């Protein structure tokens, strides 16, 4: 046996066992004609970070300088055992099991698959499923929070295999959890996006100072911008002084127009001239909650009048970029009926800042 053939034999015998699979280490000079076991990443500080070679790439003579440039003098050739999956295959199988049709899956890359929304909507994430998947070990599921607003192209979740090789039984358990969830929820997936409906809102701005023209209204533009951002609109804005009877009359007028929701701004504090909460009650609204455990926006009123959502909006909606109104509005647009049980837990994470 020649010296060269002896060296080659030693290389072929140098293996790393992962479970029942084998990773065989091969010098890049001897790798021509072999296929990569995993993606190889190139990092050029300040310029580029990404995949240089994809899993399964057939190594050619021309690839050797590029491999050496990223510090790869050896590569791994993977031989999987019967009960194992490559990281990319594991991540893809998990994503397919967990996602609904509103989510687009990216191509697996370095053991990761991203799940992105195709629509403007509300992320519906089952936290128990996320926890159960992550408790399995060697695999990971990361998501946005439940009820987060997502837009086309926004990531909603990502699946990840931690080691290069994952036991098939772990992925099978993820698939079992997903099937079980779908059976309990009429076929709904554990990770999904609910579309937001296009709503027409009636906006009633109260306050004698605005009604009489003493100051310029700032509520209208702010509220209109928030609705427009979610694909809805303020169909009409009307004004009323700090007079309960007039406010009640205007609410009834808005109700008669058939608007999808009624938003009443101003007069929401405890000052004696602030008549809005009482007027909303007098108009016949069922009050879900006057006050929310969130800041800014603790003085928000949430109610329903003849099944139509009616909200009393506090002054912070004019100037703060993110308030309790921004938390509840997307859920209303997604078709949720807000109850007291929905509002009580919002204090955890209720210090809102963006």
- Containing 4, the helix (H) or strand (E) segment is helix 3-13
* pLDDT of 23: 67
What is the sign, positive or negative, of the torsion defined by CA atoms of 60, 62, 65, 69? negative
Residue 2 has pLDDT above 70, yes or no: no
3-state SS, residue 171: helix
Cα 282 to Cα 173: distance, rounded to the nearest angstrom: 55
pLDDT band at 10 (very low <50, low <70, confident <90, very high): very low
Half-sphere exposure for 196 (CA within 13 Å, toward CB): 29
Question: Is domain 84-195 annotated with CATH 3.40.50.720?
Answer: no
Report domain extents, the chain.
3-79, 84-195, 200-347
Taking residues 335-340, report their average pLDDT: 98
The token pair at 327 is 């938390």
* pLDDT of 3: 46
pLDDT band at 4 (very low <50, low <70, confident <90, very high): very low
Taking residues 67-84, report their average pLDDT: 83
pLDDT tens digit sequence for 144-170: 999 999 999 999 999 999 988 899 999
Question: Is domain 200-347 annotated with CATH 3.40.980.10?
Answer: yes
For 130, phi then psi, to 5°, come to -60, -45
Cα 73 to Cα 167: distance, rounded to the nearest angstrom: 29
Q: Which long-range contacts does 341-349 make (Cβ < 8 Å, 24+ apart)?
A: 343/288, 343/289, 343/292, 343/293, 343/302, 344/293, 346/292, 346/293, 346/294, 347/293, 347/294
Taking residues 14-25, report their average pLDDT: 60
The token pair at 331 is 């859920």
Q: Return the DSSP state at 314.
A: P
* pLDDT of 81: 79
Residue 46 has pLDDT above 70, yes or no: yes
In terms of pLDDT, which residue wins out, 8 or 115?
115
Give the rounded percent of residues in the chain with a pLDDT score beyond 70. Answer: 91
Taking residues 4-15, report their average pLDDT: 46
């Amino acid at each position: 046996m020649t010296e060269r053939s002896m060296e080659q034999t030693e290389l072929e015998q140098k293996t790393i066992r992962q479970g029942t699979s084998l990773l065989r280490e091969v010098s890049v000079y001897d790798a021509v004609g072999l296929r990569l076991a995993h993606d190889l990443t190139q990092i050029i500080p300040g310029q580029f970070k990404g995949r240089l070679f994809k899993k399964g790439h057939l190594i050619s003579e021309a690839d050797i300088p590029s491999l050496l440039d990223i510090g790869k003098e050896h590569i791994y050739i993977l031989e999987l055992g019967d009960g194992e999956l490559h990281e990319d295959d594991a991540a893809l199988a998990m994503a397919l099991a967990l996602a609904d049709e509103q989510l687009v899956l990216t191509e697996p890359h370095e053991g990761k698959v991203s799940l992105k929304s195709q629509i403007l909507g509300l992320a519906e994430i089952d936290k128990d499923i996320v926890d159960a998947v992550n408790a399995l070990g060697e695999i990971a599921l990361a998501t946005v929070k439940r009820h987060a607003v997502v837009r086309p192209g926004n990531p909603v979740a990502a699946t990840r295999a931690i080691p290069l090789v994952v036991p098939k039984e772990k992925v099978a358990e993820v698939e079992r959890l997903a099937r079980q969830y779908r059976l309990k929820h009429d076929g709904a997936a554990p990770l999904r996006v609910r579309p937001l409906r296009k709503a027409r809102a009636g906006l009633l701005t109260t306050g004698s100072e605005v009604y009489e023209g003493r100051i310029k209204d700032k509520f209208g533009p702010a509220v209109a911008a928030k609705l427009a951002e979610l694909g809805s609109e303020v169909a009409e804005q009307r004004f009323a002084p700090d007079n309960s009877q007039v406010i009640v009359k205007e609410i009834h007028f808005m109700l008669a127009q058939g608007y999808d929701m009624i938003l009443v701004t101003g007069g929401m504090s405890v000052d004696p001239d602030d008549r809005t909460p009482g007027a909303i009650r007098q108009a016949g609204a069922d009050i879900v909650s006057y006050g929310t455990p969130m800041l800014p926006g603790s003085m928000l009123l949430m109610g329903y009048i003849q099944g139509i959502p009616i909200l009393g909006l506090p002054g912070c909606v004019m100037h703060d970029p993110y308030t309790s109104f921004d938390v509840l509005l997307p859920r209303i647009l997604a078709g949720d009926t807000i109850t007291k049980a929905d509002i009580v837990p919002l204090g955890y994470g209720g210090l809102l800042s963006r």
